[in-house]
Every structure is written in structure tokens, then in C-alpha cells.
Amino acid sequence: MAGPTPQTSAPAPGLPPQQLDDLERRLVDSVDVDALVADLAALVACAAVGGSPGESAIQRWAATRLRDLGLEVVEWEVDLAAESAQAGFPGMEVTRDELVGVVGTWPGASAPGTRGGAGGGPDGDADGAADGAADEGLPALALCGHTDVVPVDDPARWRSDPFRLALDDGLLTGRGACDMLGGVAAVLGAVRALRSCGVVLARPLAVHLVSGEEDGGAGAFATLRAGHSASACVIAEPTGGAVIPANAGSLTFRLEVEGRAAHGSTRTAGENALDHLAPVQAALRELEARRNVDPPAEFAHLDLVAPISIGIVRSGTWASTVPDLLVAEGRYGVLPGEPLETARSAFEDAMATLGEGDAWLTAHPVRVSWPGGAFASGSLPAGHGLLDEMLAAAASVSGRAPRVEGAPYGSDLRHYAAHGIPTVQFGPGDLVQAHAVDESVRLDEVVACAQAYAVLAPRRCGAPPQHGD
């Protein structure tokens, strides 16, 4: 089934009009919607919850699909012990015994006289020329997606089986449909369109499918450490129609507040640890307010760039006993460009000041620890051509100029940025649907993103004149 008819009347702001040429029109029309939906259904059915057998199963399914599409595939079992010993390892919040890496590559023809300049950029700009001169065999573009999904707390709250894709009036529902299996399906749809049109790329195109993103990004970390790189990367995270060149970050904190146990009938002889939750929350709100003054311009659309929230509270083991321990765990937003150690220090200092007006907390300071994954912030280098290229490809398909925004959450973008790979996020779905009950994504958004990736690939990788152009 062909996709929607493209429009070309509304290029991204500041860019010259870039109409679809004959090859690009054929690519847009060649996105197979039925195959795209079938791929998404298969992905959802893997139930790829982090740490479960489905997490490896979905990666092995994806490797097979990439081979079917004609890519050269590297599939390997990550040595988790070795990776976790590396400096900068992002941590894990689930227990896993296995992690599978998958990278597919469409080889480049290295043909002279390619369209798109030396580096495959649409105008042969400085970024593209540098790419071509220094990294002739390096993929000019990597399309990246994570395949792990978050758990389903209560399947009975869903309208349908969360691990069986439902399609109703253009809405695709299932766990991971939005975050981010819809984006993975769009990447596969773009590769299928390139293959069906017989496209020859001057420089390689890579597909990085990674796992463990939801709890730190161990898969992307391992993929990049294994030497899989590119001159630029687009991550198909749900971006709600925007192109995202910068992410804030996040850390998981654990607070432990000591009390003194007593029988409930003599509660004043004890010290209820739960009573100290209120001052802890007040200190967190004060810290949050201080840290969110004057956000960077890309993040001005958000009410909070770096939110702080408690997600888990545990206290007490018996109804008639005064609890002697409060444990609170939550998410701590990391500001754009802020080193993780600086963020941790600011948090720990705020907790240390809690004792200034509280005799109990002076004698029993709040204990702070940092379990789980660590998401640093990350950003595209200022002025890099990839942003305009992604904006132009999306605009020439949809007829609408995408917004450019920063995102308040951490993602694998920071791993690619740390390896010097310019990266943006652009993918189907809205963040409010991610991790939600009845998680969903609109089919037309998945199709439009597949079309945009298919247009971007020859523009960035360079394509010799194709038959029928």
C-alpha cells in the first residue's frame, strides 16, 4: 500500500525550497504501509520488556528482518561484565543476563560524481565535505532505534492485549507502539523503500538497533564501543512532529531517612520516619525552582527543563509499629550541558541543608545514593548541517516545517554525542503516550517518518543518478 501523497510547498524555516525529485517521489510512494504495520505487530508481539527473554528475542528478530532487506548484519552478544566495568558505563536498572547488539549496513558504492557533495549533504556544505574527506568508508548516516519497552503494570486496564498490536481508525495501540517500536518500524519501512526502488548509495547507510535504552542505554553504549559509527545519526524517538537537537538528562536518586521504632500505642516514644517526607519534598521543590530559572532557548517551551519527582515511597513493615525508615526513590533532572557530578553535588548539598532547622535530621542526616541508570545531557554541535537536512526532508514529505525543540528527558543521543557523532531525534508519536496505558501512535505519523528517512538517506549518503531519474 502506498503512503500519503507528499506535499512540497512548505520547506523548513530559513531553508531554500527543496522539491522532491523523481527518485525521492518514488521513494515516498514506495513506503509499503501493510509491511510497515506487519513489522510493528511483530515487534510489539515480542514483549521486549527490559531484562526479559523478549528483549533478546526482538533483537534477533530485527537482525533477521535487516538481512531479509539485504543489509550486511552484525549480530553479537554483548559482554555485560566487560561493558559494566568501563568508565562512563550508564548503569542498568533491571537485571539482565544477556544483551544482543544488532547493526545493519547498506554498503556504499563510492561512485564519483554523486549527488549531494562529498559528504552527502544536500549542498555539499563544510560538514559534508569534511565527512567525505576524512571518513570515506564510514556510514554517512545511521538510523537508530531502541527495541526494549517498559513493563505493563496491569494488563486489565488496557482496552486490548498490550502485546498484540491493535489498529483502529488509524491508531496503532500496543506496548512500545509509541516508545519506540513505531520509530523502529519506520526505519525498516524506509530501508524497504530504498531497496524496492533499487537505490545505490555512494556512502554507506547504517541501522543501529539497540536495547537497554529505557534503563540507561547499555545497548547504545556497547554498540559504539564496538566501533560502529557514522558521520551523523537520526534517532527515531517519538518527538511529536519536532526535530530535537538537544536533550536534558536525568539521574535516579534514593533517599533514606532514619526514624526510631516504637509501638503504635506509644508513638511519641518513637520517631516516625514518614513524618520527615514533607520537609524532604519541600526541599526538592525549592531545589527544582532554583534549577529551572532561565532555561536555554531550545527548552523555553517547557514549564520545567529539569523536573524532580519522587516515584516510589516505602516505609514501615507493621501497622502498629512506628516506622524507623523511610525510603524514597525518584527522578532528578540534569540540566543541558551540566556534568553529572555537578548535578549530584547540587542535590546532595540540598539534602544536607535539611538538618539546619531540624534537630532530628541534624543528628540523622538524609542518606543519598544513586542507583540505576545515569542519563547525561547531549546536543548536536551548533550549526551542524544535519539539523537543516532533517528539517528539509521532513518538510518536503509533509509540507509542514517541523518545530525545533529541546527535550527534557535523557536518551541515547548523549551516547552518540559523546562519541563525536552529530545526532538529532525525529520520530513518530507523542511523548505523552510513552509508557502509558493504551500506548499508541498514529499510522500516518509512522508512514510520514518512514518517508522522511527514505528521502534523507540519499540526500545525506549521496546517490548516483538512478534509472528513471
Give the per-residue pLDDT at 136.
Answer: 64
> Which residues, 6 or more positions from 203, have their beta carbon under 8 angstroms from its beta carbon?
108, 110, 119, 120, 132, 136, 138, 139, 140, 231, 461, 462
What is the residue type of 140? Answer: A
Residue 367 CB neighbour total at 10 angstroms: 12
Give the per-residue pLDDT at 466.
Answer: 59
* Range list of H helices, 267-339: 277-291
3-state SS assignment for residue 280: helix
Give the per-residue pLDDT at 118.
Answer: 32
What is the residue type of 59? Answer: Q
Say if residues 465 and 202 touch (Cβ distance below 8 Å): no
What is the residue type of 378? Answer: G
Give the per-residue pLDDT at 130.
Answer: 39
Give the per-residue pLDDT at 467.
Answer: 54
Give the per-residue pLDDT at 401.
Answer: 87
Give the per-residue pLDDT at 311.
Answer: 94
- Phi (first) and psi of residue 446, to 5 degrees: -65, -45
What is the residue type of 292? Answer: N
Which residues are paired to 334 by β-bridges? 249
Give the per-residue pLDDT at 465.
Answer: 62
DSSP 8-state code for residue 10: -
Select from 212, 176, 227, 208 the least CA-distant residue to 98: 212
3-state SS assignment for residue 141: strand
Say if residues 259 and 378 touch (Cβ distance below 8 Å): no
Select from 96, 108, 83, 106 the least CA-distant residue to 223: 83
Give the per-residue pLDDT at 35.
Answer: 98
What are the grid coordinates assigned to 67, written together? 538481512
Select from 142, 105, 168, 145 the least CA-distant residue to 428: 145
Residue 180: asked if its preceding bond is cis (omega within 30°), the reply is yes
Q: Whose grid coordinates read 535504552?
A: 213
Select from 28, 29, 9 the least CA-distant residue to 399: 9
Per-residue pLDDT 10s for the chain (469 aa) are 444 433 333 344 444 446 899 999 999 999 999 999 999 999 999 999 999 999 999 999 999 999 999 999 999 999 999 999 999 999 998 999 999 999 999 998 864 433 333 333 333 343 443 344 446 689 999 999 999 999 999 999 999 999 999 999 999 999 999 999 999 999 999 999 999 999 999 999 999 999 999 999 999 999 999 999 999 999 999 999 999 999 999 999 999 999 999 999 999 999 999 999 999 999 999 999 999 999 999 999 999 999 999 999 999 999 999 999 999 999 999 999 999 999 999 999 999 998 777 889 999 999 999 998 889 999 999 999 999 999 999 999 998 889 999 999 999 999 999 999 999 999 999 999 999 999 999 999 999 999 999 999 999 999 766 554 4
> Which residues, 6 or more positions from 153, have their beta carbon under 8 angstroms from its beta carbon?
none
Give the per-residue pLDDT at 302.
Answer: 94
What are the grid coordinates assigned to 442, written together? 498514529
CA distance 53 to 211: 12
> Which residues, 6 or more positions from 38, have their beta carbon under 8 angstroms from its beta carbon?
none
Q: Is the pTM of this model over 0.75?
A: yes
Q: Whose grid coordinates read 536498572?
A: 93
CA distance 252 to 343: 12
Q: DSSP of 160-194, one letter per residue?
A: S-TTS-EEETTEEESTTIIIIIHHHHHHHHHHHHH
CA distance 273 to 153: 28
